Amino acid sequence: MKLLYGTTNPAKLSAMARVLAGLGVEVLGLKDMEGQLPVPKETGSTLLENARLKARAYYERYRMPVFSCDSGLYLEGLPDELQPGLHVRSPKGEYLTDRGMLEYYGGLARQYGDIRARYRNAVCLILDEDHVYESMDESLASAPFWITSTPHPQRREGFPLDSLSKDIRTGQYYYDQGRESVDELVGDEGFAEFFRRALKIPPDRVKGAVCQTHNRFLNLYEFQVVNRLGRESSYFVATRNGRREDLKAFSHGSRPDGVIIYAVHGEKKDRLVLVRQFRYPINDYIYEFPAGLVEPGEDMYQAGVREIYEETGLCFVPKKADPAYSRPFYTTVGMTDECCGTVYGYCSGEPTNRHQEDSEDIQIVLADREECRRILREENVAIMCAYMLMHFVHEEEGDPLGFLEG
């Protein structure tokens, strides 16, 4: 994917290209674009407003995914009239060159002693008219650092204050501590996380997976993982998938493994179809909605019709719902990559257990609101079922599926 970065500063472009390279994103700069460049007016009162103004101007001109940033410098202990804030390059109203910035901020450090400072950053990303992402989160800010009076001999065009910057923890110039240390002044990790979320790019922390079992419906994998601090360990995951390439950690897909059926029964639409099923993990019965696995070649609506017939003998007519209510969601994600979609609809007929498998121990329950309240108070209930029962008992009248119309 290509993103346009709203800057002509080669140092800023290089720094951001380095941040986004690990996400598979190619970064273009304004100098890569043809025609006359727009000159957005940075009239915002905050960093985020300025970032937004710039991003919008470049998006309107080039009609491609674009982002712009704005930075502010804040100096601890200095009076308000000396705070540069948004105006890092023009703290006194006059634009400063790289050399001018070294002289000005170095002079402040000579006057006040080493100054504890911090950059705040804002970013606005416009993918299209319907997908605009913004942040001025603390994670985008730099680590606190010292501005000192004597510049380091190393220079980087476009980032003059890096030469005046020292690590508070060590007292050393950042340039003497290597590239990774200098990156602390940019907030690299915060920007990478912002783009990862906006572009829906998952972090790659699962480095391997070994299947420990070979069962039909459920298997155990041992993952080799790396945590956010770079430490390696093992993590065990239960999955409905038998092939490594189908694991969500690698496919990042969201095909539903199973389907849950939220079914209303009766002409008055005043009862829900529940099952009271024996489950070996708790060695007891538990109340659930009818549910089951989506078989190859089925969509989740077809699976819902089949499963509720097999478990209850009832005829089920699904009701189409907005994906916000029906798309697959993960279940117990701390231990499994299983995700299930929810199918809503209406049931008719008389319940029977004659279609159930021998391995199933299922009792069919048509529960009105009073019975649902009792179940919530007294019985074992699956959490996904419990949330919907709470919704059902709260709405004293009307169609329980009425919320799908909103």
Q: What is the pLDDT of residues 237-277, one digit of tens each?
A: 999 988 899 999 998 888 899 999 999 998 899 999 999 99
**DSSP H stretches of helix in 238-333:** 248-251, 300-312, 323-326
Do 365 and 275 contact (CB within 8 A), yes or no? Answer: yes
Residue indicated by tokens 């990559």: 337
Do 47 and 187 contact (CB within 8 A), yes or no? Answer: no
3-state secondary structure of 139: helix
For residues 296 and 38, give the distance between their C-alpha atoms in angstroms, rounded to a whole number. 53
Q: Which of 70, 162, 167, 188 is catalytic?
A: 70
pLDDT value at position 179?
A: 59
For residues 286 and 271, give the distance between their C-alpha atoms in angstroms, rounded to a whole number. 18
Q: What is the pLDDT of residues 50-63, one digit of tens each?
A: 999 999 999 999 99
Do 214 and 312 contact (CB within 8 A), yes or no? Answer: no
**75-105 burial, b if ≥16 CB within 10 A, otherwise e?**
beebeeeeebebebbebeeeebebeebbebb
Nearest to 312 by CA among 270, 277, 267, 359: 277
Residue indicated by tokens 């049931």: 347
Domains of the chain: 2-198 (3.90.950.10), 206-251 (no CATH), 258-405 (3.90.79.10)
3-state secondary structure of 125: strand
Q: Residue 361 phi/psi, 5° resolution? A: -125, 90
pLDDT value at position 78?
A: 94
Q: What is the DSSP string of 5-71?
A: ES---HHHHHHHHHHHHTTT-EEEEGGGS-SPPP------SSHHHHHHHHHHHHHHHH-S-EEEEEE
For residues 20 and 177, give the distance between their C-alpha atoms in angstroms, rounded to a whole number. 23
For residues 52 and 126, give the distance between their C-alpha atoms in angstroms, rounded to a whole number. 9
CB neighbour list of residue 156: distance below 8 Å, 6 or more residues apart? 11, 162, 163
Q: How many CB atoms lie within 10 A of CB 350?
A: 10
CB neighbour list of residue 96: distance below 8 Å, 6 or more residues apart? 89, 90, 104
For residues 258 and 338, give the distance between their C-alpha atoms in angstroms, rounded to a whole number. 8
pLDDT value at position 405?
A: 81
Q: Respond yes or no: is residue 246 known to be catalytic.
A: no
pLDDT value at position 335?
A: 96
For residues 121 and 72, give the distance between their C-alpha atoms in angstroms, rounded to a whole number. 6
pLDDT value at position 29?
A: 95
For residues 271 and 366, give the distance between their C-alpha atoms in angstroms, rounded to a whole number. 6
Q: Residue 159 phi/psi, 5° resolution? A: -130, 60
**Mean pLDDT for each 10-residue chunk of the chain (406 residues)?**
93 88 91 91 92 97 96 93 92 92 96 94 96 95 93 90 93 83 66 93 90 93 92 96 90 90 94 97 97 94 96 95 92 95 95 91 96 97 96 86 83
198: DSSP letter = H
pLDDT value at position 157?
A: 85
pLDDT value at position 21?
A: 87
